[in-house]
């Protein structure tokens, strides 16, 4: 029999020094995504490794006019034998807004500039150019994620069984009109995770990983340089797997493997293999 418990925080052991953690609120509050919901976060020797990443299994959806992010959620945890089942329901209720100094954007030239930079930078999310990202700040433009009318909820169920995490995503309750793309983000912090390799034999470090590149291999793996901790994801039929990494002090600190999912899908499943105290085979 499963016991259902609604909680605000839950930590799940993976190995002696490695854990995964979920919050029902927006913790940890890092940089520009401080008020957005996170997924599963890796914790190694007591330190959270997510940086400014989203964690594992976080939905972002794109409609005709803008992208929607999650600013609130509920979290329930079940235990079935050795398997921990965590269910996080993400409300897609935040959008990006630009402000000039202390007010909203009113000047037409600034609005046009910001709209163009957003199209290149935020609307396409990971097609990130660091210089372009910092340019609005230099003229006093600040970006923030503000409350918006929810376009639906996405329920993500994490099955954590030792070092294997199975992720099941329910997309049924999204508004369908105007829905263009669905992303499932799987990101941790770039200051700890610096190495990429895949089944094609590609090995990359730090900036070589790139900001938003397609993965052509059957699987991809990200770890710290000494391979103490890492995670592997596989390509899934009818989806695109992207790799990416960015670090800019005080702004960006993420690395990950993100899925781009057909908007017609109502269900999506994938696995994440975690490597902890033992070396990857």
Interval 56-98: pLDDT, tens: 999 999 998 788 999 999 999 999 999 999 999 999 999 877 6
Torsion of CA 201, 206, 207, 210, to 10 degrees: 50
212 domain-assigned: yes
- Euclidean distance between CA atoms 179 and 66, whole angstroms: 10
What does the block give as tokens for 213?
Answer: 């590149």
Residues contacting residue 248 through CB under 8 Å, at least 6 positions apart: 130, 133, 134
Residues contacting residue 1 through CB under 8 Å, at least 6 positions apart: none
Question: DSSP class of residue 139?
Answer: T
39 domain-assigned: yes
56 domain-assigned: yes
Give the DSSP H/E element, type plus range, for residue 268: strand 267-275
Strand duo 67-80 + 153-161: pairing = unpaired
**Count of residues in the chain:** 281
- Confidence band for 6, pLDDT divided at 50, 70 and 90: low
**Which CATH number belongs to the domain containing residue 70 in this structure?**
2.70.98
- pLDDT for position 230: 97
193 domain-assigned: yes
The residue range of the domain holding 72 is: 5-275
- The whole-model pTM stands at 0.85
- pLDDT for position 247: 83
| DSSP symbols for 9-66 | EEEEE-SSSEEEEEESSS-S--GGGTTS---BEEEETTEE--TTS-EEEEEEEEESS-
121 domain-assigned: yes
Of residues 145 and 280, the one with the higher pLDDT is 145
118 domain-assigned: yes
* Residue in 259, 256, 254 with CA at minimum distance from that of residue 241: 259
Bridge partners (DSSP) of residue 177 are: none
Helix, strand, coil percentages (3-state) for the chain, rounded to 5, are 10, 50, 35
281 domain-assigned: no
280 domain-assigned: no
- pLDDT for position 277: 58
Q: How many CA atoms lie within 13 A of 30 on its CB side?
A: 22
User: Does residue 181 register a pLDDT over 50?
Assistant: yes
What does the block give as tokens for 114?
Answer: 């910001």
pLDDT single digits (tens) 94-133: 987 766 555 554 444 444 444 455 555 544 444 444 444 5
- The domain total for the chain is 1
Q: DSSP 3-state assignment of 114?
A: helix
CB 147 within 8 A of CB 162: no
């Amino acid at each position: 029999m499963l016991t259902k418990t609604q909680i605000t925080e839950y930590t799940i052991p993976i190995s002696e020094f490695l854990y995964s953690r979920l919050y029902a609120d927006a913790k940890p509050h890092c940089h520009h995504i401080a008020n957005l919901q996170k997924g599963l976060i890796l914790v190694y020797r007591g330190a959270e490794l997510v940086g400014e990443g989203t964690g594992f299994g976080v939905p972002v959806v794109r409609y005709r006019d803008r992208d929607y992010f999650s600013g609130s959620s509920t979290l329930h945890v079940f235990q079935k034998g050795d398997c921990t089942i965590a269910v996080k329901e993400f409300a897609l209720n935040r959008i990006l807004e630009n402000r000039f100094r202390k007010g909203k954007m009113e000047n037409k030239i600034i609005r046009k500039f910001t709209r163009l930079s957003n199209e290149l930078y935020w609307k396409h999310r990971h097609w990130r150019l660091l210089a372009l990202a910092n340019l609005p700040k230099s003229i006093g433009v600040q970006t923030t994620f503000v409350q918006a009318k929810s376009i639906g909820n996405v329920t993500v169920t994490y099955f954590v069984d030792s070092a294997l995490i199975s992720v099941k995503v329910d997309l049924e309750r999204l508004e369908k009109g105007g829905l263009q793309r669905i992303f499932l983000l799987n990101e941790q912090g770039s200051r700890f995770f610096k190495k990429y390799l895949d089944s094609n034999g590609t090995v990359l470090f730090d900036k070589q990983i790139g900001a938003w590149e397609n993965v052509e291999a059957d699987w991809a793996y990200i770890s710290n340089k000494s391979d103490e901790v890492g995670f592997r994801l596989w390509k899934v039929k009818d989806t695109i797997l992207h790799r990416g990494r960015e670090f800019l002090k005080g702004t960006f600190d993420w690395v990950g493997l993100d899925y781009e999912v057909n908007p017609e899908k109502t269900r999506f499943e994938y696995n994440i293999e975690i490597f902890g105290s033992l070396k990857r085979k």
